[in-house]
Structure 1
Amino acid sequence: MTPSVDSSPVPPRGRRVSETIEQLRARILGGEWPLGGRIPTEPQLVAALGVGRNTVREAVRALAHAGVLECRQGSGTYVVSTDELAPVVARRLSDHRMAEVIEVRRAFEVEAARLAALRRTPDDLAALDAALAEREAAWHADRLAEFVEADAKLHVAVVAAAHNAMLAELYASFGTALRATVAQAMGDVLTPERYVDHGRLVAAIRAGDPEWAAREAGEFLEHPTGA
């Protein structure tokens, strides 16, 4: 009797690499390999993932190109980001493209405010109030770096209140660019003419008025002088 032979098709090389990339990404996002930490060596990955050395090498190279991993000569490969879009946005961020960043902010934040007015929960409103209070405290204390961070935190809270997971993920990738536009708008010191009241934005979301919320979110970015 002729021995049976396993005739299961071998996945094409491109598909094996794609599947390996997804496995690596899952382990990074799952926290198995934390941000700043070193991932296992190539032989260890080959054994753990059950694929060939070349497949592992290509998958690691792809994630390094995406800005998620960084290969350091003589040291190993490290997790430098959990978000593949963030490094791309950061690489494209420069002063001469700041106008484009503002346009993208409007696209994100106007729709987020509109949705937040429709979907906000009591917990969302509490988070917005806390972020607004933190922003105001930083302003009155004349702490520029704290104000930039608090302002960004408030905008993130608005996006979270929209309850759109994809929007939140995309906006998270925009964090560096967001802070850069706020910092540029503020300059070296906090001055009264650069102050923008975000209390009305929070009030519009609390009132459940999507048009008012969208208008408040977009108005200060139309001709940006504040954050």
Structure 2
Amino acid sequence: MTPSVDSAPVPPRGRRVQQTIASLRDRILRGEWPVGGRIPTEPQLVTALGVGRNTVREAVRALVHAGVLECRQGSGTYVVSTDELAPVVARRITDDQRAELRMAEVVEVRRAFEVEAARLAARRRTPEDLAALDGALAAREAAWHGGRVAEFVEADAALHTAVVAAAHNGMLAELYASVGTALRSTIARTMGDELAPERYVDHGRLVDAIRAGDPARAAREAGAFLEPPPGG
């Protein structure tokens, strides 16, 4: 049977794979498949995406190679990162013998991101952003007063992430997400094995500055606890 003249052309195989990779990545970025969660099975993906098994297999393999997905024998395929940059940053932190130098670099990068994020957040925060910041700050304080180190590290990272989200800059948020592992590493290293009083940093003033809509004060508060040591 002769196909109709208005039939949609079938894209070349290479392009189908690239389109499938883009579709998978988009679903990950939108949070449909969160980090730590398992993606649908291969047959389910074939049905959902409307492509063949080989195309799905190649797309998944590409994202595994990029460090976004991880195949676990007998369990399935899981999301381990939201983008390709995060594993690269993580490897620089964990694999390099000059760990202390790398940590100093992470703090410098954090300062570049977080100071500008705080400045923007003070201008653009919404009532929903302020509620998220208050919730993250309360969780951070509760973890600190409870002496729960691992929980505090996660809560502190969540607060900084909430500040970046309140900046309403998509590219900044994506770049910041890529240093998530490094962020937690610097917080954990600063805290050590216990939450000593001398290591406590008040982030309430940062949240207050954002709430007040004061960009200069918000930037100052965000940068104060990330200042390099004298001579650094």
> Which TM-score band applies after superposition, normalised by the shorter structure?
0.7 to 0.9
Instruction: Report 1:50-199 matches (<5 A).
Output: 51=51, 54-72=54-72, 75=74, 77-81=76-80, 83-85=82-84, 86-94=86-94, 95-96=99-100, 97-199=102-204
**CA shift in 2, pair 1:128/1:76, >3 Å:** closer
Aligned to 1:37: 38
Distance 1:194 1:62, change over 3 A: same
C-alpha distance in 2 between matches for 1:153 and 1:72: 27
Report Cα offsets for 1:110-158 as digits up to 9, x if no partner.
1110001111223322332332233233323322222222211221221
Determine if contact 1:131/1:154 at 8 Å carries over to the other structure: yes
Q: Any conservation in 2 of the 1:117–1:204 contact (CA below 8 Å)?
A: yes
Structure 1 pair 17–190 and aligned structure 2 pair: CA distance change class (3 A): same
Gaps of 5+ in 2: none
RMSD over aligned CA atoms reads 3.2
Count, aligned residues: 221
Gaps of 5+ in 1: none
CA distance in 1, matches of 2:8, 2:168: 43
* Distance change in 2, residues 1:44/1:152 (3 Å): closer
Determine if contact 2:81/2:87 at 8 Å carries over to the other structure: no
Q: TM-score, normalised by structure 1?
A: 0.79
The 1:202–1:58 alpha-carbon spacing in structure 2 relative to 1, beyond 3 Å, is: same
Where 1:221 maps in the other structure, the secondary structure is: coil
